[in-house]
Structure 1
Amino acid sequence: MSTQTTPDGTRPGGSAGLDLAAAELSDALTRRPRTIPPRWLYDDRGSELFSRITRVPEYYQTEAERSILAAHASSIAEITEAVTVVELGSGTSDKTRTLLDAFVAHGLIRRFVPLDVSEQTLLEAADMLAERHPEIEVAPVVGDFTRHLGRLNAAGDRIAGPRLIAFLGGTIGNFYVEERRAFLGALADVLSPGDWMLIGMDQVKDIGRLIDAYDDSQGITEAFIRNALVNINATYGGDLDVGGFGYVPFWDGRQERVDMRLRAEEPMTARIDDLDLDLEFFEGEEIRVEISSKFRPHELLDELVDSGFDRVDAHVFTDDADDFALVLVRRS
């Protein structure tokens, strides 16, 4: 079945989305400490860079998660009996193929709904999956999963039966604590009792391995983080000096997360025309771009239960090295 765009799948660059995104970015860049919302990492070039990150030797997460899916996707299909699978931040939907193959083999799935902010990447992946599985409807939704979860319930008529929302790749670790709890609550609100969520989480481990995973020898992660500045400049007519910032990844032991920042290497100014924004950076000033929190399964499960999911029906799947985990929970 061919792919289709959803009725309200307005591009994030549409007028309403642009106004909100502009206000959010302007606020983030002007308050202290300065931050950049993670959505600015994921234009088409950012999505391509992240795809390359998943293939560098230091970045173990993708292959660990892939091995879990290969071993347990059939069990996940049997447990959930989902007729609709939704993937948040689907990107190239690379690992999702394994999951969908198992659901198709199980014989109940009728629709796959990938959601991603990068329209070109999303539609290309959706076309590929539609060709791979012509027996199911592939209905891509262009949007930001931090702001557009409501679009999932507007993506055509609801098919009777349980849904599974897949949130893979350890992306849950990119939220600060309060943001994460609010996001999990919003996910619970989107789901109906009996729906399921599958969430990927990177586990706490040796600090050296963690830092290497975000400071790879090829410099791809650094290019990915810097691309946020490139994207902002291109979108809003800015002149942020991409090369004037150093890339600074470090381990925050108190919060148990990797923190990725850009640090001004000398005093500088910048102008972003479309935001009517003038910025002044002092030497050594940092912009917080992304974090990646690490978890123990019981900690994340506690947060999920607090958000409205059922502990009794929870399942935790790990890879052989116990590096990564998939947590499967049912909406209460």
Structure 2
Amino acid sequence: MDAPLIRDRALYAAALDGLTARPKRMEAKWFYDARGSALFEQITRLPEYYPTRTEIAILRAEAGRIAALVPDGAALVEPGAGASVKTRILLDRLAGRLAGYVPLDISGGFLNQVAEGLRTDYPALPIRPVVADFMAELPVPDDLRPAPKVVFFPGSTIGNLSQQQAVALLRRARALPHVARMFLGLDLVKDPDTLVAAYDDAAGVTAAFNRNLLARLNRDAGGGFDPDSFAHQARWVPDKARIEMHLVSARAQEVPLGHETICFARGESIHTENCHKYTPERLEALIRPAGWRLGPLLTDRDRQFAVAVLEPTGD
């Protein structure tokens, strides 16, 4: 019998750890292979998925107000910058006033490609990409350390983190030298039907995104999953103010994973993602231990989404 092919040892180790736990779990970061990233881009354009278009509308409507809160000569630091699409709304207002833009991303090739496009469009702005995992560090180029720092963290990514992870990230941002402000995108608590629909669309794109994790385990971690034997499920958990995404086994089954076998009972799930939603009170409780206080809370008319302005506390 041929040995299982394991292309990604980190994914394999994470899968063994998560799928032998009770309850079973996987970190959401494993969604994002090439197909997963493409599916997520489709999700952001779905009629049910309001966060992306609503945040972009807020940034466009409030760009002048946001720009006024950025000190002259500041360095704009963006953890997990990706394609920097939303950042361009700010750069259109700020490029001539900034000492530099520092996009951080774990994917170096993609980051440098995006940086080249930004250099073409903003030739007077120093673009200083840094390859880094923002969950571990927020490095800034040495020549920009004396500049005031403004952190831009859009996209409600904060909601995908546990309380402990979120506070740790906010503390790293607060610890940046001469940090002035942080602009934080976050989704707000609203009616459960709207929330569930955003993560369980009628076209089934989010279901395909969720199941693609199993296809990735098959390809890169020696898995033998049948994705069609797992149902996508989005659950609103009111006491934790979050949407949970799960992959629910349709039957009792044994699935090979590398040299191991993972047993599923019928109805047993893999918990694949949390998407926390916030009220101003919950947000205050999150940011205060990390050394921030809440400034203006910029929202759309229906208060579906917010861009929070955080101000540093203490010295």
The answer, yes or no, to whether TM exceeds 0.5 is yes
Aligned-partner residue type, residue 243 of structure 2: V
| Cα distance in 1, alignment partners of residues 142 and 208 from structure 2 | 38
Aligned-partner residue type, residue 184 of structure 2: I
Structure 1 residues 115 and 84: alpha-carbon distance in aligned structure 2, compared to 1, 3 A threshold: same
User: Are the aligned partners of 2:246 and 2:270 in contact in 1 as well (CA < 8 Å)?
Assistant: yes
| Cα distance in 1, alignment partners of residues 109 and 266 from structure 2 | 37
Correspondence for 1:53: 43
User: Are the aligned partners of 1:264 and 1:283 in contact in 2 as well (CA < 8 Å)?
Assistant: yes
- Please, which runs of 5 or more residues in structure 2 have no aligned partner? 1-7
| Cα distance in 2, alignment partners of residues 301 and 162 from structure 1 | 24
Correspondence for 1:99: 90
Count of aligned positions: 306
Structure 1 residues 44 and 232: alpha-carbon distance in aligned structure 2, compared to 1, 3 A threshold: same
Q: CA deviation at 1:99?
A: 1.6
Q: CA deviation at 1:156?
A: 5.2
Q: Deviations over 1:278-331 (max 9, x none)?
A: 3122211100001111111232133212211144xx221111221111111133
Aligned-partner residue type, residue 306 of structure 2: A
User: Are the aligned partners of 1:39 and 1:117 in contact in 2 as well (CA < 8 Å)?
Assistant: no
- Please, which runs of 5 or more residues in structure 1 have no aligned partner? 1-17
* TM-score normalised by L of structure 1: 0.84
User: For residues 166-181 of structure 1, what are the structure 2 equivalents within 5 Å?
Assistant: 166-181=152-167
Correspondence for 2:303: 322
Correspondence for 1:196: 181
Structure 1 residues 33 and 250: alpha-carbon distance in aligned structure 2, compared to 1, 3 A threshold: same
| Cα distance in 2, alignment partners of residues 90 and 206 from structure 1 | 30
Q: 1:87 aligns with which of 70, 75, 78?
A: 78
| Cα distance in 1, alignment partners of residues 178 and 145 from structure 2 | 15
Q: 1:141 aligns with which of 99, 113, 130?
A: 130
User: Are the aligned partners of 1:42 and 1:117 in contact in 2 as well (CA < 8 Å)?
Assistant: no
Where 1:145 maps in the other structure, the secondary structure is coil
Q: CA deviation at 1:46?
A: 1.9
User: Are the aligned partners of 2:145 and 2:177 in contact in 1 as well (CA < 8 Å)?
Assistant: no
2:26 matches 1:36: yes
Q: CA deviation at 1:22?
A: 4.9
Q: Tell me whether 213-222 or 115-124 shows the greater mean CA deviation.
A: 115-124
| Cα distance in 2, alignment partners of residues 183 and 85 from structure 1 | 16
| Cα distance in 2, alignment partners of residues 240 and 157 from structure 1 | 49
| Cα distance in 2, alignment partners of residues 60 and 253 from structure 1 | 20
User: Are the aligned partners of 2:9 and 2:221 in contact in 1 as well (CA < 8 Å)?
Assistant: no
| Cα distance in 1, alignment partners of residues 254 and 132 from structure 2 | 32
Where 1:254 maps in the other structure, the secondary structure is helix
| Cα distance in 2, alignment partners of residues 57 and 217 from structure 1 | 9
Q: CA deviation at 1:203?
A: 0.8
2:208 matches 1:227: no
| Cα distance in 1, alignment partners of residues 157 and 293 from structure 2 | 21
Q: Deviations over 1:152-188 (max 9, x none)?
A: 23x4543431112211111111123333333333333
